[in-house]
Structure 1
Amino acid sequence: MTRKLEGGKLLVATHNKGKLSEIREILAPFGVDVVGAGEMDLPEPEETEDTFVGNARIKAHAAAKATGLPALSDDSGITIDALNGAPGVYTADWAETPAGRDFKMAMTRANDELNAAGATPPRTAQFRCTLVIAWPDGHDEVFEGVMPGQLVWPIRGEHGFGYDPMFQPDGYSITCAEMDPAEKNKISHRGKAVAKFVQGCFGG
């Protein structure tokens, strides 16, 4: 039985404004007061696990312990079939530069590695999201969502963030970055995981 969320405040353990606004938008109908870890000046814990769920647990439990609030964390990324699931948990690492994250560089690397591997279209990939909600007493719950699709090049679209401009979801002829954000939230890996979280922690 999933533990229900009591009270109106939820800490989202992320410093990523794109993720925070997506989660805030999806939870808006439930009257939850969503606050981000960055807004509370919480440090970012080191993500030392090699799985999405492992890293999500690190972030959720650190934030719950630091604030005494239930904390929801998201570890997500893209897995590319022709690259044996890379970058996976290292999705954001591919974008790291001394001046901050550069996802155009990360997408170029993904395309270059696919070319080097001789991968032919459709270059199938999945966006994956693992949510963990942790309570200050150490209890947690896990919810996962997957959005299958294929990678396109050149990149297209101005919306979204991360690898969205090169990811075309199954059943669509446009990329995530060409979609209206509300439309993307309905089908996205994060939207699916948050829907499971809502059903589990707010549902009857």
Structure 2
Amino acid sequence: MGRRIIFATGNAGKMREIKMILEDLNVPVLSMKEAGVTADIIEDGNSFEENARIKAAAVRSLLEGTDDIVLADDSGLEIDWLNKEPGIYSARYMGEDTSYDIKNNNLIGRLEGVPDEKRTARFVCAIAAALPDGEMLCTTAAMEGIIGYEIKGENGFGYDPIFYLPEYGCTSAELPSDKKNELSHRGKALRSMKELLKARMPKE
């Protein structure tokens, strides 16, 4: 099937994770930028899965006549105390151009005085694959944790430095890359998607 897998993201940190996980498919994995594809996509779905499907379909429509598979993800942070905010608005929370230091400090501030057992949160990731024959696949996974009390760790991006994993005694941004890929919402959803794609790829 697909000659290339194009992932609908411009996030370099995300692409590093994706390429590590998908490398054994033996298909080139490119970002939209690397594939020379530009699209202005309006993500107006009401769930992570809807937004992932919208992105994958929009990019795939630009690649008519190719065997490319388009993958897209939508992910975010749900904080139970804040009624699952920022949720599907995670990237746009406080404005897309606002630094994550500011966003993370704001969330820590909003949870001031809230005890550990009520700081529960999860990262959720939905991944959609738009195949050349028009089929659409979707997988969803989550990583459970709590919101920490300070920003810690350099090995992550976004909300990783405030997402604390009690069983590991550190934030998501303090985990080594291989461990983070193993545990992360995106890693889990991507590995599930990889199995679905393997089943549809021609045997060598």
Report percent identity of matched pairs: 36
Alpha-carbon separation, structure 2, partners of 1:138 and 1:113 = 44
> In 2 relative to 1, CA 14–35 (structure 1 residues): closer, same or farther, beyond 3 Å?
same
Q: Does 1:130 align with 2:130?
A: no
**1:64-123 CA distance string (max 9 Å, x none):** 1102322000000000010111100011111535xx3411111112112222xx522131
Q: Does 1:187 align with 2:183?
A: yes
Alpha-carbon separation, structure 1, partners of 2:181 and 2:44 = 29
Describe the SS at the equivalent of 2:173: helix
Is contact 2:108-2:150 (8 Å) kept?
Answer: no
Is contact 1:9-1:33 (8 Å) kept?
Answer: yes
Q: Does 1:44 align with 2:43?
A: no
Residue of structure 1 equivalent to 2:164: 168
Is contact 2:105-2:151 (8 Å) kept?
Answer: no
Alpha-carbon separation, structure 2, partners of 1:196 and 1:170 = 25
Is contact 1:148-1:170 (8 Å) kept?
Answer: no
What is the TM-score when the length of structure 2 is the normalising length? 0.89
Alpha-carbon separation, structure 1, partners of 2:94 and 2:69 = 30
> In 2 relative to 1, CA 16–101 (structure 1 residues): closer, same or farther, beyond 3 Å?
farther
Q: Does 1:32 align with 2:27?
A: yes
Paired residues for 1:63-102 under 5 Å: 63-68=59-64, 69-94=68-93, 96=95, 100-102=97-99
Residue of structure 2 equivalent to 1:202: 198
Deviates more, 1:106-115 or 1:45-54: 106-115
Q: Does 1:153 align with 2:152?
A: no
Alpha-carbon separation, structure 2, partners of 1:182 and 1:95 = 31
Q: Does 1:14 align with 2:9?
A: yes
- What runs of 5+ residues in structure 2 fail to find an aligned partner? none
**1:23-63 CA distance string (max 9 Å, x none):** 11111122120111122241230111121011111100011
* Aligned residue-pair number: 195
Matched residue type, 1:47:
E
Matched residue type, 1:92:
A
Is contact 2:2-2:69 (8 Å) kept?
Answer: no
What is the TM-score when the length of structure 1 is the normalising length? 0.89
> In 2 relative to 1, CA 95–33 (structure 1 residues): closer, same or farther, beyond 3 Å?
farther
Describe the SS at the equivalent of 1:186: helix
Alpha-carbon separation, structure 2, partners of 1:134 and 1:170 = 36
Is contact 2:4-2:28 (8 Å) kept?
Answer: yes
Q: Does 1:114 align with 2:111?
A: yes
Structure 1 runs (4+) deviating above 4 angstroms are none
